């Protein structure tokens, strides 16, 4: 398996790390540490677990672990101060936070001899402005908050889809790009859209910040970028401001009133809304167990607020 991130290619099978055309020398234990963190990048890896995986139960000092960690960071152009790719979470462990794209080796047939993945055929553009909202990055230190960022994206897609002048790609089509470093021009060709919306969510206490940037998929130019801060109680107003700004950036002539703000707020109970977001996150795992969990979470949301009006937000979303 090959893992691609930034300008690096990490080949676990051949035990090679490349930066562009250059091969980077990595000490065996530093390579194993990097390999383990990348494979388990969806969660925080504890210190004891990492020691067991790399040193196979042997007793080692914290200094030895720190030395190997620094060596792994150095190999990929990271540092303990920057923590751009490998993040240390105090008293919890470590996590690889870089965006990774997985490919098979050339022998597996999924990667061409030059190492480039065979591109998908480009789709034709619709006859009206089209947009894909990519999964937002979760900037919280807690990876368990991913559901919150995913829920924000779902709400933004629903808000944009209320404009009859927009063609909006469904969330299940863009979810495949989560955690993958892919050029927006390629995304535009694969999904057949003119615009791509990227963003991030940071939730801290009772405050939340959403940052977004709108990109022309054909040219790669940034058309609009902004960030929105609010108290968690005003999260629905924050989502409306972001969707309205995106529509205005795409075309000033579009009717922003089509977002139907009056129908945007499903509940006044934030605990019910939190269960609603968790239900969405479980649903999109597409497993029988997760579907059962999603149903139970949705029932809990309705039990907390019997007047939950999430069904009024069910706007049609285009599929690809």
Q: What is the pLDDT of residue 277?
A: 75
- pLDDT higher than threshold 60 for residue 254: no
Rounded Cα gap, residues 317 and 69, in angstroms:
45
Q: How many CB atoms lie within 10 A of CB 17?
A: 23
CATH class of 2-96: mainly alpha
Taking the alpha carbons at both ends of the chain, their separation in whole angstroms is: 28
Predicted confidence at residue 203, as pLDDT, reads 79
Sorted by sequence, the CB contacts under 8 Å of residue 135 that are 6+ apart come out as 149, 150, 153, 174, 175, 177, 178, 179
The more confident residue out of 217 and 144 is 217
Place 265 in a pLDDT band, splitting at 50, 70 and 90.
low
Least confident stretch, 30-44, 216-230, 268-282: 268-282
pTM: 0.45
Mean pLDDT, range 95-105, rounded to an integer = 82
pLDDT band, residue 72 (cuts 50/70/90): very high
**Which tokens hold the place of 299?**
């029932």
Q: How far is CA 4 from the centre of its chain?
A: 16
Residues with Cβ < 8 Å from 168, sequence gap 6 or more?
130, 131, 132, 133, 157, 160, 161, 317, 318
Give residue 73's pLDDT. 93
- The yes-or-no verdict on residue 94 having pLDDT over 90 is yes
Domain ranges of the chain: 2-96, 130-264
Rg (C-alpha) for the chain, rounded Å, is 22
Residues 78, 80, 84, 85, CA torsion sign? positive
CA distance 254 to 244: 10
How many beta carbons lie within 10 A of that of residue 294, not counting itself?
Answer: 18
Range with lowest mean pLDDT among 32-46, 210-224, 254-268, 304-318? 254-268
Name the H helices within 13-124: 28-39, 47-55, 62-75
Stronger pLDDT, 120 or 66, i.e. the higher one? 66
Write the CB contacts of 285 (distance below 8 Å, at least 6 apart in sequence): none
Q: Evaluate whether 154 touches 283 at the Cβ level (below 8 Å).
A: no
- Per residue in 274-302, pLDDT (tens digit) is 777 778 777 766 677 878 888 888 888 88
Predicted confidence at residue 293, as pLDDT, reads: 85
Segment 54-74 shows an average pLDDT of: 84
Average pLDDT over residues 221-236: 78
Contacts of 23 (CB under 8 A, 6+ apart): 16, 17
pLDDT of residue 284: 60
Tell me, which fold does domain 130-264 have in CATH? Rossmann fold (3.40.50)
State whether the Cα torsion 96-76-149-183 is positive or negative: negative
- Kindly tell me if the per-residue pLDDT of 98 is higher than 60: yes
Task: Please return the burial class of 292, using the count of CB atoms within 10 Å of its CB with bins 0-12, 13-18 and 19+.
Answer: exposed
For 231-245, what is the mean pLDDT? 72
Contact predicate 282/294, CB 8 Å: yes
């Amino acid at each position: 398996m090959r893992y691609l991130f930034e300008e690096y290619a990490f080949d676990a099978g051949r035990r090679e790390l490349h930066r562009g055309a250059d091969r980077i020398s990595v000490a065996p234990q530093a390579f194993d540490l990097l390999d383990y963190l990348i494979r388990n990048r969806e969660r925080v890896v504890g210190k004891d677990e990492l020691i067991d995986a790399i040193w196979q139960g042997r007793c080692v000092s914290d200094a030895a672990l720190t030395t190997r960690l620094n060596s792994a960071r150095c190999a990929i152009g990271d540092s303990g101060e920057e923590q751009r790719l490998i993040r240390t979470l105090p008293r919890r462990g470590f996590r690889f936070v870089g965006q990774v794209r997985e490919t098979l080796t050339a022998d597996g047939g999924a990667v061409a001899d030059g190492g480039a993945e065979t591109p998908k055929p480009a789709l034709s553009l619709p006859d009206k402005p089209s947009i894909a909202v990519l999964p937002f990055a979760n900037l919280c230190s807690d990876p368990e908050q991913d559901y919150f960022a995913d829920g924000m994206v779902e709400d933004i897609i629903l808000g944009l889809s209320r404009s009859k002048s927009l063609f909006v790609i469904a969330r299940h089509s863009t979810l495949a790009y989560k955690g993958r470093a892919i050029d927006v021009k390629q995304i535009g060709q694969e999904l057949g859209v003119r615009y791509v919306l990227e963003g991030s969510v940071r939730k801290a206490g009772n405050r939340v910040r959403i940052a977004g940037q709108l990109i022309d998929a054909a040219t790669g130019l940034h058309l609009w970028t902004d960030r929105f801060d609010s108290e968690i109680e005003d999260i629905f107003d924050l989502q409306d401001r972001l969707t309205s700004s995106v529509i205005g950036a795409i075309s000033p002539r579009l009717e922003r009133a089509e977002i139907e703000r009056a129908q945007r707020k499903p509940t006044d109970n934030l605990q019910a809304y939190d269960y609603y977001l968790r239900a969405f996150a479980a649903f999109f795992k597409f497993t029988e167990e997760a579907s059962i969990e999603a149903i139970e979470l949705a029932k809990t949301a309705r039990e907390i607020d019997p007047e939950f009006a999430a069904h009024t937000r069910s706007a049609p979303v285009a599929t690809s």
